Amino acid sequence: MDPQSQTQLVERLRKTFQSGITLPEQFRRTQLTQLMSMIQENEDQINEALYRDMAKPKFETILSEVEIVMNELYHALSNISYWMQPEPASKNLATKLDDCFIRREPLGVVLIIGAWNYPLQLIVLPMVGAIAAGNCVIVKPSEVSSATNSLISELIPKYLSQDCYAVVCGGAKETQALLKNRFDHIFYTGSQAVARMVAQAALVHLTPVTLELGGKCPCLIYGRVNFEAAAYRLAWAKFFNTGQSCVAPDYVLCTTATRDSLVLALIKVLEKFYGKEPQKSPDLSRIVSPRHWTRLMELLRKTRGKVVVGGENNQEDKYIAPTVLVDVPEDDILMSEEIFGPILPIITFESLEKSIEFVNRKEKPLALYIFSDESSVVKTVMEKTSSGGFCSNDGIVHMTLPSLPFGGVGASGWGSYHGRWGFETFSHRRSCMLRGWALERLNGLRYPPYSEDKLKW
């Protein structure tokens, strides 16, 4: 779509929004129900698209693209009436007779820009909040996951009101042109580098932004630990979607003794998950593009760490085996950027305090994990660190609960969504005071001419 058509689209949606069509609860419900039908009736096409984009196993697609979105839709449909209710505000003596409340109002025309790693979820899940809140929406899926991108652009106009919701396709150039238009909110998921451009474009119109970004999510393992269970959960969270998850554990911090037991357990678990030849496993997706594969292989080529399992790769197949490394120096290349692939470095610190100091020297992560049987260790890590989300003795699962806000802090993101928080992100909380004409004599105290006597009141 050329820039002029993009501008016309934004203007068309703005006119629709101003008509008030998206305001009634019933309209929002109908659209959310349609979104549900879109997912249910096209499950096979969704699986196929995700397979074409990154050979994603059906099981992972159902869990992370279909069920999570359906769950969000059920949650929104069950709660929308309550969310839309005006919220009474507490009053003081001077406002006793007034009607004071907070109204959640839609923002207008909002833009949702998605990333490729969960290409359907990252478009539809924020859309649930935006529709529930009564907005018109333009979505811009990632061009990197091209099969899912095409499917989204085919399905959304088929199921949702074309007057209110639209899909714009394209890469950096088209997104930058789109961002020149004035939106009422921009919701961006992706890298920190592009987030800076999005925030700068938004600044021109003073448009508020939500930034769902990434970073390096640490996994600390300290105190008594059940190594077998820890290895299962860590390996699942890390190698789900072949490590291409914003909340995947990026690196492990533990003592040397823990590392030795953990490595043995991880080797066993990886063989159980993917067999002796993971490349032949149907349960391991591929790296999304040759460019991303090359970036990950560069990290593996330049690291000073020692591979203890994995390392095998195949360029044509965009394959990299689940790989674990030890003896990784603190300033290694693997620690210089978010890994976002199936590579897990283990760094050792003999004390929990040193590990916490290490984490706190870096940018605040999107998620932080602590594996320990000892609740005092879990509590210490929770209290002495900061991150978007926190989970003990597992990974990723905290983001599946719609009653928990999902988002980063500091460089890992601004704002949050999921469940009520998605609705809130796309709503304006308007302070309303409805006042009548009573007590005018009392009001008279605030009018000029002022006097010392009036201040005594």
Residues at the interface with ligand NAD (CB under 6 A)? 113-117, 122, 140, 142-144, 171-172, 175-176, 189-191, 194, 197, 212-214, 246, 338, 340, 366, 408, 413
Let me know the angle formed at the C-alpha of 402 by 150 and 48, rounded to the nearest 5 degrees.
Answer: 25
Question: How many of the other CB atoms lie within 10 Å of CB of 69?
Answer: 23
- The most distant pair of C-alpha atoms in the chain lies apart, rounded to whole Å, by 89
- Nearer to ligand NAD among residue 99 and residue 174 (C-beta): 174
Query: What's the rounded Cα separation, in Å, for the pair 57 and 424?
Result: 33
SS3 content of the chain, % helix, strand, coil (to 5): 50, 20, 35
Active-site residue, selected from the candidate residues 100, 219, 246, 254: 246
Beta carbons of 134 and 209 less than 8 angstroms apart: no
Tell me if residue 353 is catalytic: no
Closer of 34 and 192 to ligand NAD (Cβ): 192
Among residues 405 and 413, whose Cβ is nearest to ligand NAD?
413
Least distance to ligand NAD from the beta carbon of 185, Å? 16
Strands 109-113, 136-140: pairing is: parallel
Minimal distance, residue 109 CB to ligand NAD, in Å = 18
Please, which residue, 244 or 380, has the CB nearer to ligand NAD?
244
Residue 3 CB, shortest distance to ligand NAD, in Å, is 13
Q: How far is the CB of 167 from ligand NAD (least distance, A)?
A: 12
CB of 300 to ligand NAD, least distance (A): 19
In whole angstroms, the minimum distance from the beta carbon of 98 to ligand NAD comes to 41
Nearest to 286 by CA among 116, 61, 54: 54
Residue 431 β-bridge partners = 102
Q: Which is nearer to ligand NAD, 105 or 174 (CB)?
A: 174
DSSP one-letter string for 67-112: IHHHHHHHHHHHHHHHHHSPEE----GGGTTSEEEEEEEE-SEEEE
Query: Please, which residue, 245 or 355, has the CB nearer to ligand NAD?
Result: 245
Catalytic-residue membership of 212? yes
Judge contact between 134 and 23, C-beta under 8 A: yes
Q: Can you tell me whether residue 271 is helix, strand or coil?
A: helix
The answer to whether the beta carbons of residues 192 and 226 sit under 8 Å apart is no
The token pair at 381 is 């890590």
For 113, the 3-state DSSP assignment is strand
Look up residue 397 and give its DSSP letter. G
Question: Taking Cα atoms as reference points, which of 46, 62, 73 lies closest to residue 152?
Answer: 46
Structural contact between residues 353 and 380, judged by C-beta atoms closer than 8 angstroms:
no
Residue with tokens 């291409």: 244
Question: Cβ 215 to ligand NAD, closest distance in Å?
Answer: 7
- In the complex with ligand NAD, the residue whose CB is nearer, 175 or 355, is 175
Given the residues 212, 254, 391, 424, select the one marked as catalytic: 212
Q: Which positions are annotated as active-site residues?
A: 212, 246
